[in-house]
Amino acid sequence: MTVSQLACNSDILLKIQQYLKPDELRCASQVSGLWRHVAGQVVAIGSIARNDLDIRPVGEIGISPVWIYHRTIQGDRRGFTSVAFSPDGKHIVSTASDNTCKIWDSSSGVCCRTLNGNMRAFTSAVFSPNGTSILSASFDNTVKVWNYLSGDCCQTLSGHRNLVASAVFSPDGTRIASASHDNTVKVWSGNSGSDCQTLSDHTSWVSSVAFSPNGERIVSASYDKTIKIWDSISGALCQTLSDHKGVVAFVAFSPDGKRIASASHDRTLKIWDIQEGALLHTLVGHNGVVVSVVFNPDGENIVSASWDKTLKIWDSVKGVLRQTISGYQGWFYSAAFSPDGRSIVSVSNDNALRIWKRASPEARMIQALNPLFSYPDNPPAFLPSFMCQKTREKIVAATISTVFRNTLTIISVLEALGVEHLRRYWKNRLSEIRTMPREVAAPVFAQLYARFK
């Protein structure tokens, strides 16, 4: 049914005209008995048969940032265990159970360098604030500093009596903090490598450690189910936070240093106000232990990794879930935001490093409609990915046509400028595919997808 046919019903037309301009009306179409329109800031959903049309501004649908699958980097032998971006976002460092630490080009996915030299597996690795060094922690009870360009080990920090689970640089790069299963946190000189302080108030293994953005505080997480905040200069214990019911696996400061996020084996995340020592939010939604959490650069969202084989993106201010990334075979061990906040990298024990990209506002409108449709021949991320990567310009309108006869989803993209040939091509092929048996239509659709991939 065309818009001109829709116009025969004056009540529906009146509702449409309240929101849509004439040029936007020309982009509308009927889809499987439901009329849907995406243009500017409007989504309309209605049934022509029932003489009912509901047109709402997109903001009323509650659209949130959508993260779309971008790339998989396959490891050599055994599963990845940790991951982090470089300060400029151009490289990624990962650790794996095969005793290697690798640096990857974040754009191409090519391995630039492999750090070898540990007799036992690395547990974590991060870049220095200036990007010239890499800091690693290991099952061999040591912390190592590596030259990023040469891949040579510059320093080995020895002193822990059990494996080192985590190690980080201070924001100015002059100090290092390490968390160990010997129940302690150590603070080291970044220049000399000497052991400056040992923080030893935890009663069980220490799993994670982080500096505050101003370098004045250190936060540690432990198997004793507590989070401790320390003065990084004096080593004095400032606060103990103890609301988790299980092992606290990971902690992270917000970019403004006012909040802490913690991930626990009790399957929850918690967000804390460190100035008041108050619990702000308990985030419930994972079905397995949560092993990693990190804030995005503006502090408004966090991403969590869990052994329930999902990543979850949360609103850290409101304490609500924004998106769940699932459908993979391995347990997620670690995730990190890029410095510009536009990418997420994750690693899992299925030996895969995956990169996710933030969708454009136009693709987010389309993603809001995704639950209304199924994609029998494509992964769930196909639609917004196609919209973002191929049109490259502001999408004025998009329609989704479902071929009931063959239960095959056909995606038609309309754009005001630049892709008229694409619109005509899809229109011609759509009529052709409608008459095909499913077993014939599916490969044709795959070819269409490849043409505009």
Q: Where do the domains of the chain lie?
A: 1-62, 67-358, 359-453
Q: Give, in order, the Cα–Cα distances in Å from 52 to each of 12, 47, 55, 318, 408.
A: 7, 5, 10, 34, 27
What pLDDT is attached to residue 293? Answer: 98
What pLDDT is attached to residue 328? Answer: 83
Cα(45)–Cα(30) distance, rounded to whole angstroms?
10
Cα(320)–Cα(302) distance, rounded to whole angstroms?
10
Cα(134)–Cα(165) distance, rounded to whole angstroms?
15
Pairing label, strands 397-403, 352-358: unpaired
Dihedral Cα 131, 134, 137, 139, nearest 10 deg: 150
What pLDDT is attached to residue 191? Answer: 83
What pLDDT is attached to residue 425? Answer: 52
What pLDDT is attached to residue 359? Answer: 73
Cα(163)–Cα(279) distance, rounded to whole angstroms?
30
What pLDDT is attached to residue 45? Answer: 38
Query: How does pLDDT run along the chain (453 residues), one tens digit per residue?
Result: 333 333 333 343 344 444 344 443 333 333 322 333 333 333 343 333 333 334 333 333 344 447 878 888 887 667 789 999 999 999 999 998 888 899 999 999 999 999 877 778 899 999 999 999 999 999 999 999 999 988 899 999 999 999 999 999 999 999 999 999 999 999 999 888 888 899 999 999 999 999 999 999 999 999 999 999 999 999 999 999 999 999 999 999 999 999 999 999 999 999 999 989 999 999 999 999 999 999 999 999 999 999 999 999 999 999 999 888 887 888 999 999 999 999 999 999 888 899 998 876 445 544 444 443 333 333 333 333 333 333 322 222 232 332 222 222 333 333 332 334 444 555 555 555 555 555 555 555 555 544 443
What pLDDT is attached to residue 326? Answer: 84
> CATH for 67-358, among 1.10.1740.10, 2.130.10.10, 3.20.10.10, 3.10.580.10?
2.130.10.10
Q: Please report how many Cα atoms fall inside a 13 Å half-sphere around the Cα of residue 8, on the Cβ side.
A: 8
**241-262 as b/e, with b when 16 or more CB fall inside 10 Å?**
bebbeebbbbbbbbeebebbbb
What pLDDT is attached to residue 436? Answer: 54
What pLDDT is attached to residue 75? Answer: 77
Only one residue has tokens 């991320």, namely: 381
| R_g of the chain computed on alpha carbons | 26
What's the whole-model pTM score? 0.70
Cα(343)–Cα(358) distance, rounded to whole angstroms?
6
